[in-house]
Structure 1
Amino acid sequence: MKTIIYLFITISVVISCNEQKKELDDTSSTNSIQEELTSTPTEKEITDPKETEVWESEPNAISFNEGNVPSDAIVLFNGNKLDQWISTKDSTVAAWTINTDKTMTVKPGTGDIQTKNNFGSVQLHLEWKAPDIVEGEGQGRGNSGVFFQNKYEVQILDSYKNRTYSNGQATSVYKQHIPLVNATKPNDQWQTYDIIFHQPEFIDGKKVKSGSFTVIHNGVLVQDHVEILGSTEYIGPPKNVPHGKGPIKLQDHSNPVHYRNIWVRELN
């Protein structure tokens, strides 16, 4: 019996010693890691402002003409002729009216006009004015539109004190995005659109990245980098048929809307 008791005590002592050794080893390991961390050199503090200066590459300098058009822009209409435009329906000469004040007016019934050249992502500037005589209501008053790649419309409409469906008023991405505010001026004043369009991307027949619109109307942000869901359809949901670059189109919606000062900058 004494032998058994002695054996039990011996085993207990051995186990206790092993546990104490393990604790000491763990503590030693922890202390070693802490010493390692504290001894690791920290990132060098930057005290010289020149160390964060980037000199290359240098942005190209541009200039502006008397109409405030940037020198790297492509002028689509400056009031003299429509040589940058063709009829959408048959590719003949654009038949809209050029006025003596260097503006152009939709000639109802002649159809949409579009640029001869195709574009990808762009910055577009255009100015428009509702018809001189206020007629109709809703979508029937001062209706036109600017289309990108013949598929994506930013609405042009006399939305001054003229209620219509919100995703169809001036500066809406038609039937997709309602503008943040209605910044439309009365029909005796010119409206300014500055639009940033980023085209969608397709690979192997599938859309891999949506396009987007940012729209500034009369100096006011009204569409803030909104996603283009697909083509802006009058009836039904958006469609996403693969495509590349395309023309910029202005719509003949049977209203004599006026235009001037149209230019575009390609975004590469």
Structure 2
Amino acid sequence: MKALGTLILLNFLFVFTMNSQDRQYPEQARMRPEMSEYWQPQPPVVTPGNRSQAPAAAPSDAIVLFDGKDLSEWQNSKGEAAGWTVHDGVFTVKKGTGDIQTKREFNDFQLHLEWLIPEGITGESQARGNSGVFLQGMYEIQILDCYQNETYVNGQTGSVYKQTPPLVNAMNRPGEWNTYDIIYTAPTFKADGTYRTHPRVTVIQNGVVLQNNTIILGTTEYIGFPKVVEHGAGPIRLQDHGDPSAPISFRNIWIREL
């Protein structure tokens, strides 16, 4: 009986195989280049700024945070008028007036700013043209004169302050303008207030990459280590470090929300 069952099964498999060989299947379509292309949605058109100008114009979709005329986009930490000095198309840190920050708040963005360490600057290490740009008011990218000026590496120009040193030192000499182009991705948080995704930053100074999609570990503390503080959108903040050596100037600041 068992042998009979085996014979029936073998006969079924033989017939199925023969029928399968006789059956005609449609040939798979030959791949063409257009099969892996898609055309919609088209990226929006953005007109780049005129790079031949000095300073270069902002892109057409940018929010201009300083146009050389006034600090109407800025305020101090109390929400009052920014007290820094505007002159000759730039603005300069006014010692003792405190940090200034944008009235608007941002999440992910591309930020452009230009800054100048004046000629004749004195001092050394951190006491030499010290300022900083804080992303979302929380995370400092160091501004400092590191032209032939040695300091701790995680406090150099372009460092994520007290966390990650820059890849290189790309400083121009005092009296020459430096540019920062910063691409920033804001963090997201879990229900318990810890990071779901960390903030990340890319910093380019004078066309040279200093930070390449660097993870920011938390707040950039002067004393102590990074802390995780849950937050939402935040301003761009510029630091009045109270540097006695010489005041830093800024110009041509714009931002593109991403």
* Aligned match for 2:139, one of 119, 144, 152: 152
1:174 has 2:158 as partner? no
State the SS of the aligned residue for 2:142. strand
**Could you tell me which residue of structure 2 aligns to residue 56 of structure 1?**
40
1:202 CA displacement: 1.1
Aligned partners of 1:168, 1:44: CA distance in 2, in Å? 60
CA–CA distance in 1 between the matches of 2:197 and 2:31?
39
Unaligned runs of 5+ in 1: 1-16
The Cα offsets for residues 137-175 of structure 1, whole Å up to 9 and x where unpaired, read as 000001000001111010000000000000000000001
Question: How far apart, CA to CA, are the structure 1 residues paired with 2:223 and 2:29?
Answer: 61
For residue 4 of structure 1, what is the aligned residue in structure 2? none
1:75 is matched by which residue type in structure 2? V
Q: Which residue identity is paired with 1:46?
A: M
User: Secondary structure of 1:140's match?
Assistant: coil
Q: Which has the higher helix share?
A: 1
Find the counterpart in structure 2 of residue 6 from structure 1.
none
Between the aligned partners of 2:139 and 2:59, the Cα distance in structure 1 is: 25
Which runs of at least 4 in structure 1 moved beyond 4 Å after TM superposition? 39-44
Q: Of the candidates 60, 75, 83, which is equivalent to residue 71 of structure 1?
A: 60
Structure 2: state its 5+ residue gaps: 51-55
Instruction: Check the 8 A contact 1:205/1:242 in 2, yes or no.
Output: no
- 1:5 maps to which residue? none
Query: Counterparts of 1:120-135 in structure 2 under 5 Å?
Result: 120-135=107-122
Alignment partners' CA distance in 1, 2:63 and 2:192:
31
Q: CA RMSD in A?
A: 2.5
Whole-angstrom distance in 1 between the partners of 2:241 and 2:119: 16
- Distance in 1 between the 2:28 and 2:87 partners? 67
**Partner amino acid for 2:44?**
N
Is 1:45 the equivalent of 2:30? yes
**Would the alpha carbon gap of residues 46 and 137 (structure 1) be closer, same or farther in structure 2, given more than 3 Å must change?**
same
What's the TM-score once normalised by structure 1's chain length?
0.82
Q: Radius of gyration: which is bigger?
A: 1
Aligned residues: 239
- Identity score, percent: 49
- Aligned pair partner of 1:216 in 188, 204, 208: 204
Deviations 1:90-127 (A, max 9, x none): 22110111112x01110111110000011111100000
